[in-house]
Amino acid sequence: MNLALIKWYAGYAVAHYYHGLEYVAAAVAFVILLSSIDDLFIDLWYWTRTIYRRLTVQRTYKPLTSAQLYQREEQPIAIMVPAWHEYDVVAAMIEDLVRVMDYRNYVVFVGTYQNDPQTIAEVERMRRRYKQLRRVEVPHDGPTCKADCLNWVIAAIFRHERESGIEFAGVVLHDSEDVLHPVELRFFNYLLPRKDMIQLPVASLERNWFELVAGTYMDEFAEWHAKDLVVRESLVGSVPSAGVGTCFSRRALLALVAETDNQPFNTESLTEDYDVGARLGKMGMQSIFARFPVQFATRRKAWFGLGKERDITVTMPLCVREFFPDTFRTAYRQRARWTLGIGLQGWKQTGWVGSLANRYLLFRDRKGIVTAFVGIIAYVLVIQFLLFAGAGLLGWMPDLIASPFADSGWLQALLWANGCALLLRVVQRIYFVTRLYGWEHGVLSVPRMVVGNFINFMAVSRAWKMFITHLVTGKRLAWDKTMHDFPSADGFNNRRQRLGELLLSWQAIDPDKLEQALGESHAREAPLGRVLMAKGWLDEETLAEAIAFQADLPRGRLHAERLREDAARLPLEAIVRHRVLPQADPAKGRTILLAASPLAETVLAELSTLIAGPLAQEIVREGEIAEGLRVLRGVAIATPAAGAGGESVPARGVPLIGDLLIEHGHVRREDFEAAMQHYRPDRHGLIGDYMVARDVISRAALDNVIQQQRRLQGALAASE
C-alpha cells in the first residue's frame, strides 16, 4: 500500500470523525440548553421575588432584632453531634461551642461507636469538663451510617428527658467540625415551637486563594444557600435539611419516631438529612429556611499572599460555618455520598411524589447524575475542536465532509443561547461569592467553576459505581468517612477568661454560689477554686480542667508506680517547695513537670537549671500532687485517730496543711510562699512545725488546721 493511499484513508477517517463530533456537539448543546432553561427559571423566580419583597413586604414589616431574641425566656434545647473517627476535631468543636454560645439552657449529646476508642477518649475528656455534655454510645461497631448513630442519640435524648423531668423544645443537629454563632440557640428558641424544622444556611470558612478545591465549596454554598434554597422554600413551603444547623421541634421528632417505630432517621439512606426534610414536608410540618443577619469576625487573607492579613467584621446571614475538604480525592468522595443519597437513593426510595412544583424540584436535585457527564463531554469536545482549528491553521487538515449544520440557524441560536446562559451563571456566581468573601474570591470563583465540574464528574461516577454494586451484590452502603479540620485556637479561642467566667460558661457552678464564693475568696485571700471545693460546689477534676484550659496546657496524669524513680530528677526540697512532681517522658526525651497550677517563669527557670534536657508542664489534680508529696516525704496519711501535735499529709482529695492555713486566714499566701523559699525538709522536718518556729503562724493555728484536715479525711472515708 503506497503513501498516498494511506493518506487518503487517514483523511477519510478524520473527516468522518469530525463529522461525528459535530452531531455529538449538537446533542450536547441541546442537553445543556435544557439544563440552562431550568437554571434560568430559578434565576427569574429569585430575582422577581427579591424585587417584589423589597418593594412590598420589607417596607411594611420591621425585621427581627437581636433584642427580641434575648427577650424570650430560654427553653431547654438539645444539640446532637454524631461522631465516627472525629477524635482530631470533636474536642475543639465542643470547646468552641461552649465558649461562644450565648445560651445556658442546653445539653450536648455526642454519639460515639464502641470500637472508636480515640473519639470516646476525647469526648470523655470533654464530658469531665463540661457539665452540659453527655456521651451516647452506639452499642455496636461502626461505621454503619450517620442515621443509625443519630437514632441512638435521639433515644438517649428522650431517655434524658424522662430521667430529668424536662422536655426539650427542640433538638439541633450539628457535625463535629461546625463553627457556631453565639445567637444560634437564641434564634431557634425564638421560633420554637411555632416552626417544626428550622434550617440555617451553611457557609465555608474562608480559604486561601490557591486552595482551589476547597474554594469550590465557598462558591457553591454562597450561591445555593442564598438563592436556590430560598426559591425552593417559596415554591413548595418546605426545605431539605442540610445535615448541620438544623433544628427539629419536639413535635416533629415525636412524629418521626411514631412513623418509623423509633427510627426517626432513615438508615437506608446516606443523606438522611435530605430524606428527613422530605418526610416532614409530607406530614405537613412547618419548615423554614431562616435568614437572620448577624455579624461575623473573620480574618481576610491577603490577595495572592501579598500584603498583610486583616481582621474584618462581615454582616451575613446567621449560618453554620466549617472547613470543607481541600483535596480533590476527599472532595469527590464526599460529594459522591451526597449524589448517591439525593440523586440515586432518593429516586429509588421516594420516586416522584407531591405537587408539580415538588416534582420539578426533585428533577432539579437529580439531574446532576446525568449533566455531570454532559459537562465533561462538552470540555472534551471543545478541546478537540480547538485542536482541529489549530491543525487547519497549519494546513494539516484533510478535506472534510460538508457539515449538515453549515447553514443551520437553529444551531447557531442554540450556541448563542448557551453562551448567554454561561455568562449569566458566571455573573451570578461572582455576585454571590463577592457578597460573602470579597471581590478577590468573586473573581477566583470563575476558574473554580471548572474545578468544581471535574470534582462533580468524579463524584457522580463514584456514586453510580457504588449504587450499581449495591444493587448487584446487596452490599450495604456504609458511612464514607470524610476527614475534617477545625479552625486553630489562634483564630477562635480566648482562653484567658477568669476562672469564674469559665466555670459559668461550662455550667459547672450556679451563678449565685459563684458570687458568694468570690466574696469569701477576696475576704480570706484564698484561691477561688479552693473555696468552691471546700464548700462542695466544685470537684477537683473540673477545677483541674479549668486551670489547664485557662493556661492552654495539657492535662496530665500521675503515674504512681514510677513516682520515686522519676522524683530523682529533682531535689526533694525543690519538689516540696514548688509543689511539683517530675515525670519522665522517654518517648520525647523530656521531663514533664506535673503541677496543680501553671508554674511561674522564675520557677521554670530555676528548675531548668536542676534538670537536664527540655521541660514541659502538665496540669493534674491537687489531690494527685498531695498524694505524690505524701509518698515522697514518707509522712503517714491523716486519719481521725492520729495523735495531735504533729503533721500528716492527707490522702487524695484532702487539702494540704499550707492550703488550709491560707484558706482559713492564718497566714497570707505571700508570707507562706516567702517562708517556703528557705524550707528544706531534711533539715527543718514538718512544714507546720517549721512555720511555727519561724513565727509565721501560731501553734493554735496549726492545731486548728490539723483538726480540720482530719475532719475532712474522715468525711472522705465515710463517703467512700
pLDDT higher than threshold 60 for residue 100: yes
pLDDT band at 648 (very low <50, low <70, confident <90, very high): very low
Q: What is the mean pLDDT of the chain?
A: 84
Residue 212 backbone phi and psi in degrees, to 5: -65, -40
Greatest Cα pair distance, the chain, in angstroms, is: 121
Amino acid 676: pLDDT: 73
CA 651 from chain centre, in angstroms, equals 40
Q: What are the helix (H) ranges across 557-668?
A: 563-567, 572-578, 601-608, 622-633, 657-663
Amino acid 169: pLDDT: 97
Amino acid 653: pLDDT: 52
pLDDT band at 6 (very low <50, low <70, confident <90, very high): low
pLDDT higher than threshold 50 for residue 651: no
Q: 474 versus 441: which is more confidently predicted? A: 441
Q: ω before 582 within 30° of 0 (cis)?
A: no
Percent with pLDDT over 90 in the chain: 40
Domain ranges (residues) in the chain: 553-632, 635-720
pLDDT higher than threshold 70 for residue 286: yes
Q: 188 versus 9: which is more confidently predicted? A: 188
pLDDT tens profile 556-601: 888 888 888 888 889 888 888 888 999 998 888 899 999 988 888 8
pLDDT band at 655 (very low <50, low <70, confident <90, very high): low
| Arithmetic mean of pLDDT, 663-676 | 72
pLDDT higher than threshold 70 for residue 526: no
Percent with pLDDT over 70 in the chain: 87
Q: Which fold has domain 553-632?
A: GMP Synthetase; Chain A, domain 3 (3.30.300)
| Arithmetic mean of pLDDT, 522-526 | 65
> In angstroms, rounded to a whole number, what is the distance separating the alpha carbons of residues 101 and 291?
19
Most confident of 390-404, 459-473, 505-519, 647-661: 459-473
Burial 526-541 (b: 16+ CB within 10 A, else e): bbbbbbbbbeebbebe
Q: For the chain, what is the radius of gyration of the CA atoms?
A: 33
For the range 85-88, what are the long-range contacts, defined as Cβ-Cβ under 8 Å and sequence gap of 24 or more? Answer: 85/116, 85/118, 85/119, 85/143, 85/481, 86/119, 86/122, 86/176, 86/177, 86/484, 87/116, 87/118, 87/119, 87/121, 87/122, 88/483, 88/484
Cβ within 8 Å of residue 227, ≥6 positions away: 42, 43, 46, 428, 432
pLDDT band at 253 (very low <50, low <70, confident <90, very high): very high
pLDDT tens profile 151-179: 999 999 999 999 999 999 999 999 999 99
> In angstroms, rounded to a whole number, what is the distance separating the alpha carbons of residues 331 and 209?
17
Which range, of 80-94, 214-228, 294-308, averages the lowest pLDDT? 294-308
pLDDT higher than threshold 60 for residue 652: no
Cβ within 8 Å of residue 187, ≥6 positions away: 69, 198, 200, 290, 292, 318
Q: 362 versus 529: which is more confidently predicted? A: 362
- 239, 278 contact by CB (below 8 A): no
Amino acid 18: pLDDT: 82
- 596, 621 contact by CB (below 8 A): yes
Which range, of 436-445, 454-463, 682-691, 695-704, averages the lowest pLDDT? 682-691
Whole-number Cα distances in Å, 568 to 575, 583, 622: 10, 10, 21
In terms of Cα–Cα distance, which of 39, 36, 149 is closest to 90?
Answer: 149
Which range, of 474-478, 543-547, 646-650, averages the lowest pLDDT? 646-650
pLDDT tens profile 269-285: 777 778 888 889 888 89
| Arithmetic mean of pLDDT, 645-657 | 51
Q: ω before 398 within 30° of 0 (cis)?
A: no
pLDDT tens profile 355-401: 898 889 989 989 999 999 999 999 999 999 899 888 888 877 776 66
| Arithmetic mean of pLDDT, 55-84 | 91
pLDDT higher than threshold 80 for residue 638: no
Q: Model's pTM, two decimal places?
A: 0.74
